[in-house]
Structure 1
Amino acid sequence: MATEVKLVLITGANQGIGFETAKELLLSDIYHVIVGSRDPVKGEEAAKTLQATPGIKGSVSSIQIDVTDDKSVDSAAAQIGSQYGRLDILVNNAGINILTKSPDREALCKILDVNVVGSLSTTEAFLDLLRKSSEKRLVFVSSSMGSIAHAADPTSIYYRPQGTEYRTSKAAVNMMMVMYMARLKDEGFKVFAADPGLCATNLIGDLQSLRQRNAAEPADGGQRVAAVVKGEKDADAGKVLGVYGVCPF
């Protein structure tokens, strides 16, 4: 009997970590990846690029989804429900960062809207479709920068008094992941936070600065997130999983 294809939605997958996660998954023919993108043109372009990449065995499509727009999120859920009847894996990857010289209320509101509220909104919209799957996998892309334990430890490489807004958002994402795990585990869900590590993406709009800090390439981060999606870290469900293993909260 042929293996049933697993349907994966990755938000913000037209570039960066989301794109590379999709590429890694598509090396196997058991995945159909739905590229979620706020800009439908960019999403379609990304899907075409992925499908034309040498070595790709899976299939890919795109869908418009702006995680800060309830109508867009609900429309995407309705479209996937109508087309497929279920969703096996949701990867809440869409995220932003805004660099500030000192903590800024406007920046914090914008970052929380995408990174936290957007992830919750998307998860809630797709829960019923995930419930129809035998996989039921929910992944939040997080960061060790959101670890309170690291932030409070002077010996940690993450002990840096910068990025208050972004780090606060990822700490909230980690808590959200734990709450969903507690809420859904009895229904057979596997819930994780996946930390791709510091990667040279467009997240802060300064690739050179990131590479000077020895940032990994986006493909490395994509492999780390994909490992969680593929079930390679299932023994640590309900935890934040980083390049060095389980991240302390």
Structure 2
Amino acid sequence: MDVLDVLINNAGITGVQLDSNGKPIPQTAAGTSIDVFKTVYETNVYGVVRVTQSFLDLLKKSEEPRIVMVSSSQGSITLHSDPTYKYYHYKGVVYLSSKSALNMYTVNLAYELKDTNFKINAVSPGFTKTDLNHNRGTGTVEDAGKRIVKYALIGNDGPTGKFFCEEINPEGTGEIPW
């Protein structure tokens, strides 16, 4: 039987461009081109929606379907409006807003499928050292992978429609505010 048990949506680009010295050019709300928004949203939001919708029929055949949206704590509006948040001064309107949009899609999809065995959550792997951030991250790919897999394998009594970042909230549930 054709079935899919787990879908991990790990689409993500920043749209950040580098200057001639290799330093990131800030993405300001007042000055970033709409073309940069379109490019990033095409991958980070629209691509995820397309993939998710394409695989829903196969996931519905699973006894315990799981969808993990790989997000970022940078997509938390609550955290980014708090001056005490450790990444408060790291703004980038395009990437951050695309992850906020992904988070809202996650909430809506989880709501629509709340009366099923689906578990759909957004998970931030933490500030991981990858090409995405020009290897400036502090976490390992292995730790990030473990965080994502943890929510891909949760039981039927596990959460759905939640946002997790164990780097930001390592105690307790790991849940962070939207």
Correspondence for 1:216 among 139, 155, 178: 139
1:225 aligns with 2:142: no
Cα distance change, pair 110–132 in 1 and its aligned pair in 2 (3 A): same
Cα distance change, pair 144–232 in 1 and its aligned pair in 2 (3 A): farther
Alignment gaps of 5+ in structure 1: 1-83
**1: distance between equivalents of 2:156 and 2:62?**
19
Give the alignment's Cα RMSD to 1 decimal. 1.7
Paired residues in the alignment total 160
1:1-249 pair list within 5 angstroms: 85-99=2-16, 100-103=25-28, 104=32, 105-204=34-133, 206-207=134-135, 210-211=136-137, 215-231=138-154, 235-243=158-166, 244=169, 245-249=174-178
**2: distance between equivalents of 1:216 and 1:234?**
29
- CA drift of 1:234 comes to 5.6
Using CA pairs under 8 Å that are at least 6 residues apart, name the structure with larger relative contact order, 1 or 2. Answer: 2
Percent identical pairs in the alignment equals 38
1:139 partner SS: strand
Q: Structure 1 segments of 4 or more deviating over 3 A? A: 232-235
Cα distance change, pair 232–183 in 1 and its aligned pair in 2 (3 A): closer
TM-score, normalising length: structure 2: 0.84
**1: distance between equivalents of 2:58 and 2:73?**
30
- CA drift of 1:108 comes to 1.4
Alignment gaps of 5+ in structure 2: 17-24
- Higher helix proportion: 1
TM-score, normalising length: structure 1: 0.61
**1: distance between equivalents of 2:64 and 2:37?**
34
Cα distance change, pair 234–149 in 1 and its aligned pair in 2 (3 A): farther
Residue identity opposite 1:179 in structure 2 = N
**2: distance between equivalents of 1:170 and 1:177?**
10
- CA drift of 1:158 comes to 2.5
- Higher strand proportion: 1
1:95 partner SS: coil
1:126 partner SS: helix
